[in-house]
Structure 1
Amino acid sequence: MGRGVQVRTRTGGSVIVTEPRLPSAFAEFEKFAEKWCLATEPERWEARLSTPMSEIREFYDAFSPRFEEAIDYCDKFPLEDVPDDALNLLHLIYSMIMVSMAVEIFGTQKPADSADAEMHRVSAPVP
């Protein structure tokens, strides 16, 4: 069994996460990891479309203050040799980018007055 990490919730409580996905310096975001550490852009897009705006806003508000710090952390590694925890943090960064327009511009997870909101890719950039 892996090491446990105590993560504080917004309501002041805490939960124990037994298998941390993120670097220990970013343990406070473990509660978002399962939903937002997604490897592909279509997965992140689908998560944005299917997640209530209140949850998107909670993720955005929590991660925004440390967004640049997370990028700086990931920049320490060459792309061909990113540790799993840093790769998960990178996926969290990508999800933050995906939801930021919903929060900052649209005010809703689904683009209004636009074409069909579907995304189909035949390949994706790595990582």
Structure 2
Amino acid sequence: MTQLISQLPADFAVLEAFVAKWALGTSKQRHQQRLQSTSAELQAFYDVILPEMHKLLAALDEYELGTLPEELHKLYWLSLSFAEIAPHIELYKGSVGVPYAFEEKRFIYETGDVVNV
């Protein structure tokens, strides 16, 4: 196992600055964080994590579903936050919401409080 620096494995130290804001355990938290962020914040996270995604997913893929060690949970949650914000950078020109769509804040979560691990 790789040595931990703060909250992430040493190989992912470049992502450490984003842990507090984007390593969120539930889909509801990640969705709300996206809506509360600015376009510049989405872009900054996207620009740093995108080059790390191949290595990040390879590290997570070493484990069977449901067996991810706790020390990798935040790394996993960062990858889920990337999936949350990527369409907004790639398709919606950095908009934090979905253009021409139903107002997202009106949705009710059925399972959004379940921690993803």
Say if 2:85 is the partner of 1:85.
no
Query: Quick one: percent identity of the two aligned structures?
Result: 23
CA distance in 2, matches of 1:71, 1:81: 15
Say if 2:15 is the partner of 1:34.
no
Q: Report deviation, 1:70.
A: 0.4
TM-score (norm 1): 0.79
Amino acid paired to 1:42: K
Q: Report deviation, 1:65.
A: 0.7
Q: Aligned residue for 1:16?
A: none
Q: Aligned residue for 1:54?
A: 40
CA distance in 1, matches of 2:74, 2:65: 13
Q: Is the 8 A contact 1:22 1:30 kept in 2?
A: yes
Q: 1:116 aligns with which of 77, 92, 103?
A: 103
Q: Report deviation, 1:112.
A: 1.4
The runs of 4+ residues in structure 1 deviating greater than 4 Å are none
If asked which structure has higher relative contact order (CA below 8 Å, sep 6+), I would say 2
SS at match of 2:7: coil
Q: Is the 8 A contact 1:42 1:120 kept in 2?
A: no
Amino acid paired to 2:29: E
TM-score (norm 2): 0.85
Structure 1 unmatched runs, 5+: 6-19
